[in-house]
Amino acid sequence: MENLTLRAERITKDYPGTRALDDISISFTSGKVNALVGKNGSGKSTLIKIFAGATKPTSGDIFLNDKNLHFNDTAEAYKQGIVSVYQEMSLIPGLSVAENIFLGRLPMKNGVIDWQKTYQMASDLLQKMKVNINPQETLYRLSMWQMQVVEITKALSFNPKVIMLDEPTSALAQNEVQNLFNAIRALREQGVVVIYVTHKLQELPQIADTVSVLRDGKLVGSVQMNKVKHKDIIQMMFGEVKIQSRPKNIKVRDELVMEVKGFSREGWYQDVNFNLKRGEILGIAGMLGSGRTELLRGIFGADPVDQGELLIEGKNYKSANPIKMVKAGLGLTPENRKTQGLILIHSIRDNLCYASMIITADGWIENKKKRNSFAERQVKELDIITSDMDALCNSLSGGNQQKVVLGNWLNTSPKIMLYDEPSRGIDVSAKQQIFEIMWAQARKGVAAVFVSTELEELLEVCHRILIMRHGRIVDEVNPDKTNINELYEICMRGD
């Protein structure tokens, strides 16, 4: 089998205001699983996009063996044999496995689809992947890892030279990961360059042959997996991070506002217990899929909870729903502001007043004056940048949209705020503003639970951090006495 090498030479990618990739030279060879790791924003997805032809480098070249490649779009990269498998699945649930693999290129005979050949071809490919999946099975009947394998098989059907797998285990349960790994090992034997993007370090010893680490757009290094320790990779990922410290004048008061006792939801989280004091910001650290978002939604009554007791200021809340919880003084800024936090086709003014609708009205008649003053107050206090309060939320930047979501809740004068990934997808200065708002609320005595994937943020913002792993609270750390490497290590431990 021919040896293949995909090589990037001095790749730099500039976006307005930031340099996403800085002079990266790296190579990946066939017959190996090449892991590419780095925390969010390290540039790993930008690099993958350049290989896949989804974006062009500002400078630098890509070589496959010694052939210099230039892509104008992903279709051209495909023709050169570079394919990528993304987290969002491109499969169609209602079609068979074989149809999904050969969609748009089904073999024809006498003007009709040659099903026999279709199933035979699919079956051959699946055998190469060493999986036992029936090509005639309808896709939605498969389990998640099997679907992921079908996705990879589809990529393999293009006879690629390079396959890039972007976080392929992110949607999988623990026991499914091993099955997927077996398939990826089979893929490695096909003489394809396999690039495996992940942020789950615990997977690396099992699946990776080499590891390349990116940090802040630079290549920190490429190492053989069997010659490196877990700790070293963490060190490479984070370097020496200076954590900004939170203002000293936010005092946790000695007054319990919320008690979560034995919260469980089948398949998501088990036996979660914690207390929250007035003015406290409690962080929950955990990887994607650890159950943190579901826990917040459970507390807020947005999703059902199987078991558990919730006490707010000593009062027991059974069968919670958002309507009740808002009245109890809770607020939730949801994980996805566009689909859960805002009504994008409505104005900034309206979006600032939905949660406080009852407060701003006289009975069921709206008090326009009061409503406007509530909306204007938040625009001023949160520094929402807009020339027109009647502009649609569609038109705002991510940071300003997040401020509107916050403002919607602050108008209810909440006692407890649940912040789910409030800084996702917004720029650095907006992030800092969001944290300032959270601190300002804490000073007023608002207690908060803060969930984030960004560990630095948790260390910066919180008084206390709980570690959640596979739906359980497994540890608690004091951010003043923990550095990021330790925190990351604790989050990853045990798998």
Partner 1 sequence: MGMQTANKLVFNRKKLGIFLLDHAIEVILIVLMLALALNVTGFMTWANWMNILRANSLKGVIAFGMTMVIIAGLIDLSVGSTVALSGVIVARVCRDLSAGGMDLTLACTLGISISILLAVAVGWLHGFFSHKAGMPPFIVTLVSYNALYGLAGMVSGGFPIANQYPDWFNVLGGGRIPIPAWFTNLLGVGPIDGIPYPALVLVITFLIVFFIMGYTTIGRAIYATGGNPESARLSGINVYRTKVICFIVVQIMAVLAGFMVSGQVLAGSFSFGRDWGLDVISAVIIGGTSFTGGIGRVWGTILGVIFMGVISNGMTLLNFDIYTQYVVRGLVMFLAVLISSYRSKVRV
Binding site for partner 1 (CB under 8 A): 300, 302, 322-323, 325-327, 332, 334, 339-346, 350, 354-355, 357-358, 361, 364-366, 392, 394-395, 408
Q: What angle do CA 386, 430, 245 make, to 5 degrees?
A: 145
Q: What share of the chain is helix, strand, coil (3-state, %, to 5)?
A: 35, 30, 35
Distances (CA, A) of 395 to 220, 337, 338, 387: 38, 14, 12, 11
Q: Smallest distance, Å, CB 64 to partner 1?
A: 41
- Residue among 221 and 322 whose Cβ is closer to partner 1: 322
Interatomic CA distance for residues 90 and 84, integer angstroms:
11
Per the structure block, which two tokens stand in for 448? Answer: 């908060």
- Residue among 266 and 366 whose Cβ is closer to partner 1: 366
Helix (H) / strand (E) element for 75: namely helix 74-79
Cα dihedral 426→428→431→432 (10° resolution): -170
The residues that bridge with 210 in the sheet, in sequence order, are 34, 224
- Residue among 98 and 320 whose Cβ is closer to partner 1: 320
- Residue among 55 and 360 whose Cβ is closer to partner 1: 360
- Residue among 244 and 321 whose Cβ is closer to partner 1: 321
- Residue among 194 and 296 whose Cβ is closer to partner 1: 296
Q: Smallest distance, Å, CB 258 to partner 1?
A: 17
- Residue among 103 and 358 whose Cβ is closer to partner 1: 358
Q: Smallest distance, Å, CB 184 to partner 1?
A: 35
Q: Smallest distance, Å, CB 7 to partner 1?
A: 42
**What are the CB-based long-range contacts (under 8 Å, 24+) for 12-16?**
12/57, 12/58, 12/59, 12/60, 13/43, 13/46, 13/50, 13/55, 13/57, 13/58, 13/217, 14/58
**What are the CB-based long-range contacts (under 8 Å, 24+) for 40-44?**
40/199, 40/453, 40/454, 41/216, 42/214, 42/215, 42/216, 42/217, 42/237, 43/13, 43/214, 43/216, 43/217, 43/218, 44/197, 44/214
- Residue among 75 and 365 whose Cβ is closer to partner 1: 365
- Residue among 137 and 303 whose Cβ is closer to partner 1: 303
Q: Smallest distance, Å, CB 407 to partner 1?
A: 12
Per the structure block, which two tokens stand in for 91? Answer: 């499969």
Q: Smallest distance, Å, CB 295 to partner 1?
A: 15
User: Considering only CA atoms, which of 47, 63, 52 is closest in space to residue 12?
Assistant: 47
Answer yes or no: are the C-beta atoms of 408 and 356 closer than 8 Å. Answer: yes
- Residue among 405 and 467 whose Cβ is closer to partner 1: 405
Q: Smallest distance, Å, CB 339 to partner 1?
A: 6
Torsion angles phi and psi, residue 404, rounded to 5: -65, -40
Answer yes or no: are the C-beta atoms of 112 and 46 closer than 8 Å. Answer: no
Q: Smallest distance, Å, CB 363 to partner 1?
A: 8
**What's CA 449's distance to the chain center, in Å?**
18
Residue 469, helix vs strand vs coil:
strand
Q: Smallest distance, Å, CB 95 to partner 1?
A: 23
Q: Smallest distance, Å, CB 353 to partner 1?
A: 8
Q: Smallest distance, Å, CB 197 to partner 1?
A: 30
- Residue among 72 and 339 whose Cβ is closer to partner 1: 339
Q: Smallest distance, Å, CB 352 to partner 1?
A: 11
* Helical ranges in 258-306 per DSSP H: 292-300
* Helical ranges in 103-258 per DSSP H: 115-128, 144-156, 174-188, 204-207, 230-238
Write the single-letter amino acid at 164.
Answer: M
- Residue among 135 and 407 whose Cβ is closer to partner 1: 407
